Structure 1
Amino acid sequence: MALLLPDTLPTLQTATGRFVLAPFTPLDVEPLARLLARDEIWSQGFSDSEARPAGEAELSAFVDRRFAGLQVFSVYQKLPLGQSRFVGTTGITEHDEWTERVKIGRTVLDPDLWGAKVNHEVKITLLDWLFSCGAGRIECDVDSRNQRSLASLARFGFTAEGTRRRSSRNVDGVWRDFVILSLLTEEWPELRPRALASLSGQTPAGLLAV
């Protein structure tokens, strides 16, 4: 199946119905900037070697620069009475139709929801959609300091293929290493039931808990 991504992203609902993924719009710049003002986001090596923006104007400019032209989803938490609130982003940073390769990234989630399996649930939805579009290989590069993301991807079944050492340099001159991880379309049918089961704490027979 050839990779065929639409020009306009769809709106997707996660498995439990707790969250919705919708195309990122200019209206999401301000709430994303507020999230990026949180110290916790930057403690994991976020930003690809750029200096941390200071103040509302710099944060908004950072979002405009780093998200422009990319296919990114906004993540909304569904609330009572039909309301919702912005809780982060995730999306596509690169893709190649010939090799059926998709690189995912730009994942930023509200630190108040860390540990609540939000990233896990959102990623299942993103992977389902990408594989349905014909992705054969989904990959991501993760700063070697970001142990939270590395552990999460390992639980999903992503394979760490190696470390790209001295990959980019921080503004203070320190070089950064990135771990390269991938998941193949042939692997997802076996891994998906385990990923779904972990959302409810139930494990199908013969599968290990994530």
Structure 2
Amino acid sequence: MLRFPEILPALKTSTGRFTLTPFSTLDVEPLARILGNDDIWAQGFGDGESRPANPAELNSYIHRRFAGLPIFAIYYTGLPGGPLFAGTTGVTEVTEQYDRVKVGRTVINPAFWGTGANHEVKTAVFDWLFAMGAGRLECDVDPRNERSIRSLIRFGFTVEGTRRRSSPRANGTWRDIVVLSLLVEEWPETRQRAVHALDGRTGWQVPV
């Protein structure tokens, strides 16, 4: 039975290269810098909202979209100068009655794309969610975000289908959403593959 806590814990990934702490106002500025990257918005980020046109709008967007949600700030610990903010991930919806959790607000600094960082972070978060009693994890992904869809499939998620005409965009057109899921029964095998894929990355350094 899922029992979701009111306060998020601090988590550490299996290699120790990343720590996850509850997202706070101190993380807004570094997140805004990451969200200034064109590549993130080109993949359908924003749930149909228009891209903020200036720093003030971007800060307002972050506060509106992240406030009140159980979101983790991701920090890379492999630099001598101290932890480096690497992005966010967390939970956007919890249905305790059905042991169902929707995962979202995942933003990874493009400097970490292709390094396995996203899978490493997901493994730590999913370990915690399944330990809390989650039976089903869900991800809703914009069809344009092919990178994320491929990544989730490689991780072990199943594409259940496309929810057509799911929600309106700011420009009045309609968005389709790809729905993916991972079940608790699938987690032991999926986790083993994910951890095995990280074995060769213990000496990896952030490419920035």
Query: Do both share a fold (TM > 0.5)?
Result: yes
How far residue 172 of structure 1 moved from its aligned partner, in angstroms, is 2.3
Aligned equivalents of 2:55, 2:153: Cα separation in 1 = 35
1:120 aligns with 2:119: yes
Alpha-carbon distance in 2 for matches of 1:11, 1:140: 22
Secondary structure at the counterpart of residue 98 of structure 2 = coil
Corresponding residue of 1:206: none
1:115-162 alpha-carbon deviations (Å, 9 max, x no partner): 111111111111101000000000010111111010011011111111
Distance in 2 (CA, whole Å) between partners of 1:121 and 1:10 is 17
Q: Can you give the 5+ residue segments of structure 2 that lack an aligned partner in the other structure?
A: 202-208
Deviations 1:65-95 (A, max 9, x none): 0001100000000034471011100000000
Q: Distance in 2 between matches of 1:174 and 1:3?
A: 37
Q: Aligned letter for 1:97?
A: E
Deviation at 1:184, TM superposition (A): 0.6
Equivalent position of 1:64 in the other structure: 63
- Aligned-residue Cα RMSD (Å) equals 1.3
Distance in 2 (CA, whole Å) between partners of 1:71 and 1:164 is 25
Task: Extract unaligned runs of 5+ from structure 1.
Answer: 203-210
> Does the C-alpha gap of structure 1 residues 13 and 82 become closer, same or farther in structure 2, counting only changes over 3 Å?
farther
- Corresponding residue number in structure 1 for 2:166: 167
Q: Write the distance in 2 (CA, Å) between the matches of 1:81 and 1:7.
A: 33
The CA distance in 2 between the partners of 1:82 and 1:132, in whole Å, is 33
Q: Which residue of 2 aligns with 1:28?
A: 27
1:28 counterpart letter in structure 2: D
Question: 1:201 and 1:99 mapped to 2: Cα distance?
Answer: 37
- Amino acid in structure 2 at the alignment position of 1:108: V
1:106 is matched with: 105
TM norm structure 1: 0.92
| SS of residue matched to 2:97 | coil
Distance 2:9 2:118 in 1: 19
